[in-house]
A and B are shown apart, each in its own frame.
Chain A
Amino acid sequence: MNPRLARLLMRLYPRAWRERYGEEFEALLLAGRGGLRTSANVVRSALSEHAFPTQGAEMHPVTFVAITRQPSAFLPMAMSLIALALVLGNVGSDLIQNGHILREADEGTTAHLWQLLMVGQLPVLAFFAIKWLPRAPGQTLKVLALQAGAVLANLAVVFFSGVG
């Protein structure tokens, strides 16, 4: 089979599958004759793997680094860090301009953004936990612990600075 087509077909599979089987599968495709029937067979199998992914730590050796690359893992973390940056920025700005932290009578834009970021990450976190806990419980719990730490850091800054 044409190497370019073999690479393209291999890339149709989910990333976790490719990390485990990609190289040997591509070697198999390269050794074969190719053709429309073979391509259709691979496309069908790749779609099936997306729809019904093979599960289990042995099949998908998920490392901590690999799992944190999942959007559902890093997005909540990024949202928490942005929220934290907003609060710290607000506190720093108050301290520089006024020498103390101002308590706003009404919730300002920063507070609304912070709330949106903190609440918005909850469905992503739930999706992450539902998807990854059965597959790699140890690594998933580590990521969830980090995310919980980021949320607690936010709450602590809001509580102790009194901007909430």
Chain B
Amino acid sequence: MRSTQNVVKAEKQPETGHFSDPPLFVLASLANGPKHGHAMIEDIAHLCGTRLGPGTLYGAITRLEQQGWIEPLPPEERRRPYRITPKGLRALRSKLTTLLQFSKAGLRRLEA
């Protein structure tokens, strides 16, 4: 019963049920060049329709920087841009490849 309700709801409101992985969003946003926080929020919203809150964004930034997947650039006034590192690019490619395989497998099951 519950699963049926969810399906109906999902059909009526296809915008619900966003995939949310803030670190992945940040990496994807930085893949085409350095950005500061506000630019990342706008880019991610444009990219996948999810508007990250500032706390969520910086939670992802701190952990990505800790992992060495992104690095800070010199501040521009009070804003600090970040760029993705080669290690971050490898991690992004790996994550996206896994997601792609997952998506393909899931879609094949839906079509079967």
- Seen from chain A, the residues whose Cβ lies within 8 Å of a Cβ on chain B are 17, 21, 23-29, 31-32, 37-38, 41-46, 48-49, 54-56, 58-59
Contacts and interface: CB of A to CB of B under 8 A. Distances in A.
B9 interface: no
A54 B63 contact: yes
A45 B75 contact: no
12 contacts: A24-B75, A24-B78, A24-B79, A25-B58, A37-B53, A38-B53, A38-B54, A41-B55, A41-B56, A45-B53, A56-B66, A59-B65
- Interface majority SS on B: helix, strand, loop or mixed? helix
Contacts, number: 67
Contact of A29 (B54, B59, B61, B65): B54
| B37, B41, B55: residue with the most chain A Cβ atoms closer than 10 Å | B55
Contacts of B36: 24, 28
Nearest to A43: B55
B38 A45 contact: no
A8 to B, nearest CB: 14
Given A24-B80, A28-B37, A45-B53, 19 more contacts: A17-B62, A21-B61, A21-B62, A23-B78, A24-B75, A24-B78, A27-B77, A28-B79, A32-B41, A32-B54, A41-B53, A41-B55, A41-B56, A43-B55, A46-B55, A48-B59, A49-B62, A54-B62, A58-B65
Contacts of B78: 23-24, 26-27
Given A23-B78, A41-B54, A41-B55, A28 B66 contact: no
User: Contact size class for B?
Assistant: 20 to 34
A54 B64 CA distance: 10
Contacts of A27: 37, 77-79
A48 to B, nearest CB: 7
Contacts of A48: 59
Interface in B71-103: 75, 77-80
Contact of B58 (A45, A55, A58): A45
Contacts of A24: 36-37, 75, 78-80
Contacts of B63: 54
Nearest first, the 5 A-B pairs at minimum CB distance are: A45-B55, A41-B53, A27-B78, A28-B37, A42-B55
A31 B38 CA distance: 7
